[in-house]
Structure 1
Amino acid sequence: MTMVNERTRSVVQTEKFLRDIVRDPTLPEALRLRAKGLLRHYPEAEDIWHAGQLEEQRKVELLGLEEKHGPLPPVLSIWLATEPLFCDERPDSDSVA
Structure 2
Amino acid sequence: MTMPHERTRAVLQTRDFLLEISRDQTLSEKIRHDAKFLLRHYPSEFDLKMAGRIEESVREFPIGTLGPIFSSHVDNS
Name the TM-score, length of structure 2 as normaliser. 0.83
For 1:70, the equivalent position in structure 2 comes to none
Query: Quick one: percent identity of the two aligned structures?
Result: 45
Matched residue count: 75
Please say if 1:46 is aligned against 2:46.
Answer: yes
Quick one: structure 1 residues 34 and 16, their matched pair in 2 at CA, closer, same or farther if it must change by over 3 Å?
Answer: same
Bigger fraction of residues in helix = 1
> Matches of 1:22 and 1:51 in 2, distance apart?
26
Q: Which residue of 1 aligns with 2:67?
A: 83
TM-score computed with the length of structure 1 as normaliser: 0.68
Q: Where do 5+ consecutive residues of structure 2 fail to align?
A: none
Cα distance in 2 between the residues matched to 1:7 and 1:79: 16
> Deviation above 4 Å: which 4+ runs of structure 1?
none
Q: Which runs of 5+ in 1 are unaligned?
A: 64-76, 92-97
**Bigger Rg, which one:** 1
Evaluate the alpha carbon distance shift between residue 42 and residue 88 of structure 1 in structure 2; reply closer, same or farther with a 3 A threshold.
same
Corresponding residue number in structure 2 for 1:22: 22
Structure 1 residue 28, shift from structure 2 partner: 1.1
Aligned-residue CA RMSD (Å): 1.8
User: Partner residue of 1:8?
Assistant: 8
